[in-house]
């Protein structure tokens, strides 16, 4: 895949802007969000794990990602590794290693077909006050 010079310049500019911004959380913001800090972090980690497993299961071994995508994956891996190391060494929290074969296997399962009628499309439709049955 070819990238035009203009597009490449735009990508570089965006990356430099993001690198220069960094986290800018003020003291008052940190105090205000302290109550739900752990819950928020856990939700973010769950979303991260879900997205990572989904991406992993959708790529085959022969597919190479664009260099900028590979760099983002490497950066995310680096950040998570540093967080894990901090939790284990500084905070003395034991971080278990999950069974990845089970996690990856769950991504490849077909969704179960539910036989209940609690889904969109069951029942009647209403148009302009007129009741009509589902077709």
Chain segment 29-76, per-residue pLDDT in tens: 555 555 555 668 888 999 999 999 999 888 888 888 899 999 999 999
Per-residue pLDDT of 92-125, as tens digits, reads 999 998 888 888 877 776 655 555 555 455 555 5
DSSP, res 54: H
24 pLDDT above the threshold of 70: no
Q: What is the extent of the structural domain holding 77? A: 66-93
The single residue listed with the structure tokens 């290693």 is 97
The count of domains in the chain is: 1
The pTM for the full model equals 0.50
The alpha carbon of 33 is separated from its chain's Cα centroid by a whole number of angstroms, namely 22
* pLDDT, greater one: 18 or 58: 58
Residue 89, in any domain of the structure: yes
CB 84 within 8 A of CB 95: yes
Residues 6+ apart with CB under 8 A from 52: 76
* pLDDT, greater one: 123 or 87: 87
Residue 49, in any domain of the structure: no
Q: Quick one: tokens of 74?
A: 């490497």
Residue 1, in any domain of the structure: no
Q: Which pLDDT does position 42 carry in this prediction? A: 86
Residue 81, in any domain of the structure: yes
Residue 33 has phi, psi (to 5 degrees) of -100, 10
What gap in Å lies between CA 74 and CA 39, rounded to an integer? 26
Residue 87, in any domain of the structure: yes
Residue 32, in any domain of the structure: no
CB 67 within 8 A of CB 75: no
Alpha carbons within 13 angstroms on the beta-carbon side of residue 92 total 0
């Amino acid at each position: 895949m070819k990238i035009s010079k203009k597009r490449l310049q735009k990508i570089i500019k965006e990356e430099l802007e993001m690198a220069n911004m960094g986290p800018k959380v003020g003291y008052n913001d940190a105090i205000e969000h302290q109550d739900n800090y752990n819950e928020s972090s856990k939700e973010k980690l769950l979303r991260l794990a879900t997205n990572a497993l989904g991406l992993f299961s959708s790529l085959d071994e022969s597919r190479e990602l664009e260099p900028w995508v590979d760099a983002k994956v490497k950066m995310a891996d680096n950040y998570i590794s540093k967080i894990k190391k901090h939790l284990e060494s500084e905070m003395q929290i034991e971080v278990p290693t999950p069974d990845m074969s089970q996690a990856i296997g769950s991504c490849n399962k077909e969704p179960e077909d539910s036989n209940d009628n609690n889904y969109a499309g069951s029942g009647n439709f209403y148009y302009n006050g007129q009741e009509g049955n589902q077709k």
